[in-house]
């Protein structure tokens, strides 16, 4: 049995899609209930703070996806693994979507909090730069047909883009910004109250499942396109 044949891959993808569909809406309802009803209002921001439950997970996912894309692109450049190229091609639009969602929800949150939709804050600007790298990635994948130069260009974009990731992370500590320092720390105690932390991680799970669902459908589409060219396996 050839695990990497397109028929087998599509079968496993369909099984994962069915599994995610079976639990997604339940977790979505639970997450929204905790985020919109049980989560307390902020004593300064009021209900506006609830934007956090979409804004923060979207930013995390946007950063994580670009990191995955950068690593996969460089591995593909070195080892010529075709499956990683499909992985990057399927994942890049999703990363762009979550990065844009982070920027838009940040603007919606910034207007009542800072009094403006946009400021050239270090973190805002570095997230905008990340979005531009995503756009360059997608345009390169779509319009560059030269298979010799495409991996080199994507690897260059990966190296340049990955430098921006720690800048986004530590910008609030390196420069004076409108953003507050990180409230959630994976190494150490978080300053955010558990009544807000639990809904936040629930919504992170919701968006991760949604991300996985879109990725699997996109990846399946890319495989079907290749299958139509009479290529039997990756």
Asked if 62 contacts 69 with a C-beta cutoff of 8 angstroms, the reply is: no
Q: Identify the helix (H) or strand (E) that includes residue 22.
A: helix 6-33
Mean pLDDT of 222-231: 78
Question: What pLDDT score does 3 carry?
Answer: 47
| 175 part of a folded domain | yes
pLDDT at 116 exceeding the cut of 50: yes
| 63 part of a folded domain | yes
Asked if 200 contacts 53 with a C-beta cutoff of 8 angstroms, the reply is: yes
| 234 part of a folded domain | no
**Each residue's pLDDT tens digit, 16-64:** 999 999 999 999 999 999 999 999 888 778 888 899 999 999 999 999 9
pLDDT band for position 170 (50/70/90)? Answer: confident
Helices (H) and strands (E) in the chain, counts: 6, 0
Beta bridge partners of 5: 233
| 103 part of a folded domain | yes
Question: What pLDDT score does 1 carry?
Answer: 43
pLDDT at 198 exceeding the cut of 90: yes
Helix (H, G, I), strand (E, B) or coil at 233: strand
Whichever domain contains 127, its CATH number is 1.20.120
Question: What pLDDT score does 203 carry?
Answer: 96
Which tokens is 157 given? 């974009």
pLDDT at 217 exceeding the cut of 90: yes
Question: Which residue range(s) make up the domain with 141?
Answer: 6-227
How many distinct structural domains can be found in the chain? 1
| 233 part of a folded domain | no
| 218 part of a folded domain | yes
- Mean per-residue pLDDT of the chain: 87
| 111 part of a folded domain | yes
Mean pLDDT of 93-105: 96
C-alpha dist (Å) from residue 170 to 104, 178, 182, 210: 21, 13, 9, 28
Question: What pLDDT score does 20 carry?
Answer: 96
Phi, psi of 5 (to 5 degrees): -70, 150
Q: Greater confidence, 102 or 81? A: 102
| 1 part of a folded domain | no
Which of these ranges, 7-21, 75-89, 213-227, has the smallest mean pLDDT?
Answer: 75-89
Asked if 92 contacts 31 with a C-beta cutoff of 8 angstroms, the reply is: no
Among candidates 127, 125, 109, 121, which has minimal Cα distance to 178? 121
Question: What pLDDT score does 176 carry?
Answer: 73
């Amino acid at each position: 049995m050839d695990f990497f044949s397109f028929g087998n891959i599509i079968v496993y993808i369909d099984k994962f899609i069915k599994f995610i569909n079976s639990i997604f809406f339940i977790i979505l309802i639970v997450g929204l209930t905790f985020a919109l009803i049980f989560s307390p209002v902020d004593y300064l921001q009021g209900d506006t703070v609830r934007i956090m439950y979409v804004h923060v997970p979207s930013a995390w996912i946007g950063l994580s996806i670009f990191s995955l894309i950068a690593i996969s692109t460089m591995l593909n450049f070195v080892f010529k693994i075709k499956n990683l190229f499909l992985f990057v091609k399927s994942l890049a639009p999703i990363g762009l979507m979550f990065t844009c969602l982070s920027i838009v929800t940040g603007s919606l949150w910034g207007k009542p909090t800072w009094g403006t939709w946009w400021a050239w804050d270090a973190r805002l600007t570095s997230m905008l730069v990340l979005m531009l790298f995503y756009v360059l990635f997608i345009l390169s994948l779509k319009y560059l047909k030269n298979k010799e130069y495409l991996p080199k260009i994507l690897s260059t974009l990966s190296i340049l883009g990955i430098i921006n990731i720690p800048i986004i992370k530590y910008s609030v500590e390196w420069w004076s910004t409108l953003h507050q320092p990180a409230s959630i720390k994976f190494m150490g105690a978080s300053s955010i109250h558990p009544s807000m932390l639990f809904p936040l991680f629930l919504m992170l799970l919701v968006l991760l499942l949604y991300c996985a669902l879109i990725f699997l459908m996109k990846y399946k589409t890319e495989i079907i396109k290749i299958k139509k060219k009479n290529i039997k396996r990756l």
